[in-house]
Amino acid sequence: LLPLAGVARQPYFRESDGELVTQAGYDKDAQRFGVFDTRQFAMPAPTPDAVRVALALLEDLLTEFRFVAPSDKSAALAAIFTAVVRPTLPHAPAFHVKAPVFGSGKTYLCELIGAFAGPGGNAKVSYPTTSEEATKVILSLLLTSPAVIEFDDMDTDWTPHGTIKRMLTSDQITDRILGVSKTATVSTRTLFLGSGNNVGPVRDLLRRVLTIHIDPRCSTPATRSYKGLPVEKVRQNRGVYVAAVLTIIQAWRTAGMPRTAVENVATYGGAWADYCRHPLIWLGHADPATSLLHQIQHDP
């Protein structure tokens, strides 16, 4: 049996040398199996013009979402970046889309973010109510190496169960398979998303879950439609949109990996910041970790 650190559904960056792996199949250095058609991911040279085109392509997908602040739009872009490079990252925060009312587009935004992670849909489950249920649900889902696990339409806060905390700060987790006398070790390189009205991370998860605030600011948000069909666009041409993210990251690396002096976020100050935070700040966006830092600073 080959050692396997995870599954990649698009080209990915090798952790050891930062090279972009564009060939499918097993990479013994990264211990990762690429499951994708190389021909669908045409990578242009990372020139300034290519970066402008790539960023405009991604920003166009978000024009109909009503973000509360510029940092929330930046956080949504960071979530998209995380979806693309999650197989590369040992650790990455979860993302929670929060709104004040029903019909705000929370689930649709999660579907858009998830479309960048793989050709399949998000694995949607209810947020576990007990630690035992959390262990059972998370372990059973991670055994299948899903691209995305989404806690859809939550009516409770992100309760910091032990398994939930470990899956966001550890490359692997080991737990006992309930009902049998066996343990399993699984990779946590999956994108974790959540959505809910007026709920969010609490206590230990305040530094592990990045909140994206949206507010439709209209009397009947449930009647709104997305004329640009952003989810459908990505699903039909996923290779083009994934290549746009990779082009921006490549251009940032080519430019010497410039890092703005921002506050460090424990656990996520390394690879995640380099792939999903600093490139966006470099392009003039607000710091996508703004809400995460706010949560930490205002934790009672």
Q: What confidence tens digit (pLDDT) does each residue in 98-145 have?
A: 998 887 889 999 999 999 999 988 999 999 999 989 988 898 898 888
CA nearest neighbour of 216 among 63, 96, 105, 76: 105
Residue 40 DSSP code: G
- Give residue-wise pLDDT tens across range 193-249: 999 999 999 999 999 999 999 998 876 666 677 788 999 999 999 999 999 999 999
Please give the C-alpha separations between residue 89 and each of 42, 127, 205, 211, in angstroms, as whole numbers.
22, 24, 19, 19
What span, in angstroms and rounded, lies between the C-alpha atoms of 147 and 144? 9
pTM: 0.93
Ramachandran quadrant class, 217 (left: phi over 0; alpha: psi -120 to 50; beta: rest): left
Q: How far apart are the first and last CA of the chain?
A: 48
At residue 121, the pLDDT reads 85
pLDDT in tens, 161-190: 989 999 999 888 888 776 666 788 888 999
